[in-house]
Amino acid sequence: MVDKKYKYNIAVVGATGAVGRRMLVTLEERNFPVDRLSAFASARSVGQRLPFRGGVVEVKELREDSFMGVDIALFSAGSSISKKYAPIAVESGCFVIDNSSAWRMEKDVPLIIPEVNPSALGEKCGIIANPNCSTIQMVVALKPIHDQYRIRKVFVSTYQSVSGSGQKAIEELKQQSRNILDGKSVENHVYPHQIAFNCLPHIDVFMENGYTKEEMKMVNETHKILSDSTIEISPTAVRVPVFYSHSESVRVETELPMEVDEVKGLLSKSPGISLVDNPGENEYPLAVDACGKGEVFVGRVRADLTVDNAINFWVVSDNLLKGAAYNAVQIAELVLKRLGN
């Protein structure tokens, strides 16, 4: 958190969504210096009243003139909205921090995880991209290992909660679970198959190479964030019947030899990481424990049994917080530092 002398006009676009609501909470919890807060959404959400700092903010319809006088806009309304309105916001003199995939791989748009690559913010940027949720938690854990031992290969399997698909997916999991337990039939609308009591090795659309778009996001975004396209990454993304927080099993191969205790010590001192690694006492990162927290939790750190210079570990984080809203507000704090405040 940053102490500031000035206050700023902040806009949240997509304020009524799961991530947008978390953005409001995070701005409040981190005591962000908000002078005026504007909440925007689609026409069907106009008039909703959202809590903020003991009061309420009334939702307005997003329009092309919505950004006049706004200093920083946090976007979480989908790629099509970001593609249309982010440039308009920048033209109005506003910094945009975008949570969609619209701008992440654009050459001149920084893709930021504050604990990993804050210097990528640069001196001139109007749009700043927030990485994919599954990428963020993995790269926060990879960064100290890469700096110390130089990573060659990453094998990752994700176990992603339904909240990553929005509120409708949360409701679908709830309803399917009730129906199954009550002996009733199940309908699926958000996912191609039943998600309750099931696992779907399918997140986003399939690409020609057999990987999904979600999996390729992890590859491409990691290369951009770490500024190293030589790292070989093999991902498998799975949707699981968990409401909040993503979990990942990660295997890393490095150029230099590693000792497990040394890696644990390195991770425990790294910003944004909470090491939970005491399997003898059944202590390891859990989705239910990460929910509502901004850290990335790492545990089950152990040497790989098949090759030298390789370790395995388990990573868990709240996908709506560090994977989205919390990371976006941290980026906004970097912007304030750049503004000299």
CATH number of the domain bearing residue 41:
3.40.50.720
pLDDT confidence of residue 1? 45
Q: Say what the pTM is.
A: 0.94
**Which residue, among 51, 53, 63, 65, has the nearest Cα to 7 in the 3D structure?**
53
Ranges of beta strands (E only) in 181-245 are 232-239
C-alpha Rg value of the chain to the nearest Å: 20
Catalytic member of 94, 125, 146, 246? 246
Q: Is residue 118 part of a domain?
A: yes
User: What is the spatial distance between Cα 134 and Cα 138, in angstroms, rounded to a whole number?
Assistant: 6
202 is an active site residue: no
87, 189: one domain:
no
295, 308: one domain:
yes
CA geometry: angle 312, 316, 322, nearest 5 deg: 130
Classify residue 77 by its DSSP letter. S
162, 301: one domain:
yes
Catalytic member of 94, 125, 133, 291? 133
Per-residue pLDDT of the chain (341 residues), as tens digits, is 444 456 899 999 999 999 999 999 999 999 999 999 999 998 899 999 999 999 999 999 999 999 999 999 999 999 999 999 999 999 999 999 999 999 999 999 999 999 999 999 977 779 999 999 999 999 999 999 999 999 999 999 999 999 999 999 999 999 999 999 999 999 999 999 999 999 999 999 999 999 999 999 999 999 999 999 999 999 999 999 999 999 999 999 999 999 999 999 999 999 999 999 999 999 999 999 999 999 999 999 999 999 999 999 999 999 999 999 999 999 999 999 877 66
Contact between 314 and 287 (Cβ < 8 Å): no
125 is an active site residue: no
The domain in which residue 83 lies consists of: 8-131+324-338
How many structural domains is the chain composed of?
A: 2
pLDDT confidence of residue 3? 44
